Structure 1
Amino acid sequence: PRPWYRTAPRRRLLRRLPESRSARALVVLCAALLAAAAIAALAWLWYGTPYPQSDPDRIAVRLKDQAQRAYDEAALPGRPEVELGRVETGTCYYRGLRGLAHIDEGRSDVRSFDLEWQVRAVPEDVARSGLQRMRARLEREGWTLVDTGVDRPGFRFRNPAGEDDVQQVEHVDARWYRETGTYTVSAYAGCGKLPDGFYEYTWPERDWAPAAVPGEPVTPPAARSATRR
């Protein structure tokens, strides 16, 4: 028998040729898509889930808001000055299999944020009352209790809104240490990718001090004598 291309009508031949070219193009396209998917999967395994972009100024505002509210709820006599009171950045690590090549090595372009303040020589009754007011407010706002003080009064609350939003405060922690009477509060925001040009030590939003109540001066606690009277 004669080959089909010699006996088939010209119209049928012209119809089959484009179909074969379309099939080849489809195969090439599928192969390209599979290759791209494989490359993306390997990249994800190596780099891990990318860190979200952070906005340090917005984060600082929210950390300072939590610090100020906790300070007001503490109702410390004389509204003393605080120790620390500075937004600091923390270490964040490489994700994915790439982390195996950078064990215990932090990333310079990804940081967390934390604001901690403390006041010493706070009486126990004052500390417990302040902690109760702070805890009641966090519970009203829907925060989740994740830890309570076992050997010292205090707690840690997690913000449900902070789990998926790096711009939010992720958790707050408040403690009172009986040995020194130290009342301490910290607010933490999770790891995020820093914007280009961010430099922590010249960052204008870095420092914080509690706001004074109108008409009431902010005074430090009276110095204690080193000798007994």
Structure 2
Amino acid sequence: MRKTAALLILLLAALTATGCSALEQEYPSADPAALSQRLRDRAQWAYDGMALPLHKAVKPVRVIPGHSCYAGGLSIEKTLPDVVTFDLSWRVEDIPADVARSTEARLRRKFTSAGWTLTHDGNRRGRNFVTFGFRVQDPATGDQFDLAWNDSTTSLFLSGYTSCAKVPQPAADNPSPKTWTPQTA
């Protein structure tokens, strides 16, 4: 037992001393402007795929950085200041249940037929509630989109997230200066 503990301590010391990335996760470097634009483009693509009836205008939103990317290894609680995920979230209010259900089904088909992987099915019906939704992930980029609707708010929520990426420090702390609202034909 002592030999195993001593061996583990020596291995840990060697990995730490050499800066081995086995202890901390390596994240790819990325251009924050390109990630933001990709989210805006995919949000428009998703909005078009929803084929919603006339509704109140979607309020302009910004792509914002999120600090939920962890170092990994022995420091699983430590976030990395220059590694972020980008998020774009918006909603359409006052969507009836039948419209929400058909919209959810259309968008789910659009994502999965484009090769996205369904990672969560949020369709639930209980005695006092109804929810529709899903989460999908792009296997090529790791980006995710969530769609959610519930009968207590009757709002349709769509959120997109990029994978964690290393970006220049100013971009890690500031939202994109550009706003997005869906373009309608």
Aligned residues: 165
**Residues 99-118 of structure 1 aligned to structure 2 (within 5 Å):** 99=75, 103=77, 105-118=78-91
Contact 1:116 1:187 in 2 (8 A): yes
Query: Identity rate of aligned residues, in percent?
Result: 37
What secondary structure sits across from 2:29 in the alignment?
A: coil
**8 Å contact 1:67–1:187 — kept in the other structure?**
yes
How far apart in 2 are the matches of 1:52 and 1:45? 13
In structure 1, how many angstroms separate the alpha carbons of the residues matched to 2:82 and 2:73? Answer: 16
| Native 8 Å contact 1:51 1:110 kept in 2 | yes
1:1-229 mapped onto 2 (5 Å cutoff): 42-44=18-20, 47-83=23-59, 85-91=61-67, 92-97=69-74, 99=75, 103=77, 105-151=78-124, 152-163=131-142, 170-195=143-168, 197-198=170-171, 200-201=173-174, 203-205=176-178, 207-213=179-185
Taking structure 2 as the reference length, the TM-score comes to 0.77
Report the structure number with the largest CA radius of gyration.
1
Structure 1 length-normalised TM: 0.63
Deviation at 1:40, TM superposition (A): 7.8
Find the aligned partners of 2:110 and 2:168 in 1 and give their Cα distance. Answer: 33
Q: C-alpha displacement at 1:95, in angstroms?
A: 2.7
Matches of 1:40 and 1:149 in 2, distance apart? 42
Deviation at 1:210, TM superposition (A): 1.0
RMSD: 2.4
5+ residue gaps, structure 2, are: 1-13, 125-130
